[in-house]
Amino acid sequence: MTSLAKASWFFRAFGDRACAGMCRDILKRCEALWTFVQVAGVEPTKNTAERSIRPGVLWRQGSLGTQSTEGSRCVESMMTVVATLKQEKHSVLEYLTTACEAALWSEEAPSLLPASDQKLPATA
């Protein structure tokens, strides 16, 4: 008897029907629950949007947020830049280094758009 089956039995025996039902539901889906561990390429969740905001949620919980509107905009922008670079499989450190150097020399910041999406400057 698996530990979930034992838990289900325990909750049934002592009158907690909700927990017993939850244990039965978990037992029915037990093989599928751990597919992402056993099969390469299977994501642990199917919600890409949820996974993309998770670092921001963890940051907010760990840092207690910001104290100003400007601070919130800075964090918002940085999270967007990091998420975009990771999706495009680019180095965050390399991009930020290049962006800071551009700011020091009063140059235009590097684009976050993929090379194929960048518009060429208009010629006169």
Label residue 75 exposed, middle or buried (CB < 10 Å: 0-12, 13-18, 19+). middle
Q: Is 13 within a domain?
A: yes
Q: Does one domain contain both 58 and 103?
A: yes
Please state, in angstroms and rounded to a whole number, the distance separating the CA atoms of residues 83 and 86: 5
Decide if pLDDT at 63 tops 90: no
In the block, residue with structure tokens 């235009």? 108
Q: Does one domain contain both 7 and 56?
A: no
Q: Does one domain contain both 33 and 59?
A: no
Label residue 24 exposed, middle or buried (CB < 10 Å: 0-12, 13-18, 19+). middle
Q: Does one domain contain both 58 and 21?
A: no
Is the Cβ–Cβ distance between 118 and 111 less than 8 Å? yes
Decide if pLDDT at 108 tops 50: yes
Residue 105 structure tokens: 């020399």
Q: Report pTM.
A: 0.52
Q: Across residues 7-35, what is the average pLDDT? A: 73
Q: Across residues 87-116, what is the average pLDDT? A: 89
Decide if pLDDT at 93 tops 80: yes
Q: Is 74 within a domain?
A: yes
Q: Does one domain contain both 97 and 64?
A: yes
Give the count of domains, the chain.
2
Handedness of CA 58, 97, 120, 87 (dihedral sign): negative
Residue 16, domain extent: 3-38
Handedness of CA 46, 48, 52, 53 (dihedral sign): negative
Q: Does one domain contain both 56 and 103?
A: yes
Q: Is 124 within a domain?
A: no
Q: Is 29 within a domain?
A: yes
